[in-house]
Amino acid sequence: MGVIEIKDLWFKYLLAEEWTLKNLNLVVDKGEFTVLMGPSGCGKSTLLYILTGIIPNMIKGTIRGSVRILGRDILKLQPSEIVKEVGFVFQNPDSQIIMPSVFEEVTFGLENLGLEPGEIEKRAEEILKYVGLWDKKDVSPWSLSAGERQILAIASVLALRPKVMILDEPTSMLDHKSTKRVLEILDRLKKDHEMTILVVEHRIEWASEVADKVVIMDNGEFVAVGSPSEVFSKYEIIKKTGVRPPMITEAFYKLIEKGLPVDRIPVRLSEGVQILANLFKR
Ligand SMILES: Nc1ncnc2c1ncn2[C@@H]1O[C@H](COP(=O)(O)OP(=O)(O)OP(=O)(O)O)[C@@H](O)[C@H]1O
Ligand SMILES: [Mg+2]
């Protein structure tokens, strides 16, 4: 059984004429790191809204098909039940910040879970140390940099110990350095905790290094699902959606066009270097 199971899922917003999501099918296994990509408006956020219960609890429309997370029908669960299993981080961290200090921002959600005060403080300390914000615990979230605010938003969600983390373009508003910090935390979550992670992220080189699974969406449909190598080697499909393949993959397509005798298309820089080194040796 997969941690996330999407079956024949269709969705149409209230008052919309067209279906925004069309016949989606996907299984994400435990500990799998999945990167969802696709052009603007193709329906990525809409799908995440369904996985996190925002649709149908806050945004209405017509849903067909089924969505199970950890075996439970997410379409029938109350939001208070969903947050125990699924952590959701938005593109803009500021939409999630409500408390006057970093520490309280993390403890707020834990208080809502009804945990003991001792347990709440222990978890908040643990998670702030994990993400490297412990020394800022007493400052206002608004005095943090945008990158640190995103890390705080991630920490507040992680403190609830969800089994699945879903993030919608968590780095799109961040500079290079903060982006690296956020992506590094995601890497560590996968390695240390076998967390099941689904993230919308446009950084293709990063995705091809860390993802177990890449899902390309176009116009409300999944057009490619598989490992980074499987997906990025479908050059024509990828190009049609406007998603750029990794630079090393593109370089190899050009080399093959020029007659270079390679039988494998790399998606990671290290693979590309290896293939070229072998060719030169020959
Ligand atoms: N509340 C809503 N009511 C009606 N239509 C909506 C609503 N929210 C989004 N849409 C439409 O649904 C489609 C998919 O939007 P969505 O935000 O899911 O795309 P996206 O892939 O996340 O795009 P982006 O990369 O720009 O974030 C778009 O055509 C959008 O205009
Ligand atoms: Mg979006």
Same domain, 39 and 66: yes
What pLDDT score does 193 carry? Answer: 87
Task: List the domain range (segments joined by +) for residue 263.
Answer: 246-282
Domain co-membership, 22 together with 97:
yes
Do 48 and 116 lie in one domain? The reply is: yes
Asked if the structure places residue 29 within a domain, the reply is: yes
Short-list 54, 91, 67, 87, CA closest to 165? 87
Asked if residue 58 has its Cβ within 6 Å of ligand 1, the reply is: no
pTM attached to this predicted model: 0.93
Residue 238 confidence (pLDDT) = 83
Asked whether 212 and 30 are in contact (CB, 8 A), the reply is no
Same domain for 266 and 170, yes or no, is no
Polymer length in residues for the chain: 282
Enclosing H/E stretch for 204: helix 204-210
Q: Which residues pair with 255 in a beta bridge?
A: none
Residue 65: what are its φ and ψ, rounded to 5°? Answer: 100, -170
Regions of the chain where pLDDT drops below 50 = none
Asked, for residue 123, whether it belongs to a domain, the answer is: yes
Residue minimizing CA distance to atom 3 of ligand 1: 13
* Residue 172 domain flag: yes
Q: Is 46 in the pocket of ligand 1 (CB under 6 A)?
A: yes
Question: Does ligand 1 lie within 6 Å of residue 243's CB atom?
Answer: no
142 and 251 share one domain: no
| Nearest atom in ligand 1 to 49's CA | 18
Confidence at residue 128, expressed as pLDDT on a 0 to 100 scale: 97
Number of structural domains the chain divides into? 2
Q: Identify the bridge partners of residue 64 per DSSP, sorted by sequence position.
A: 10
Residue 196's pLDDT is 96
Identify the pLDDT of residue 237. Answer: 84
Is the distance from the beta carbon of residue 117 to the nearest atom of ligand 1 less than 6 Å? no
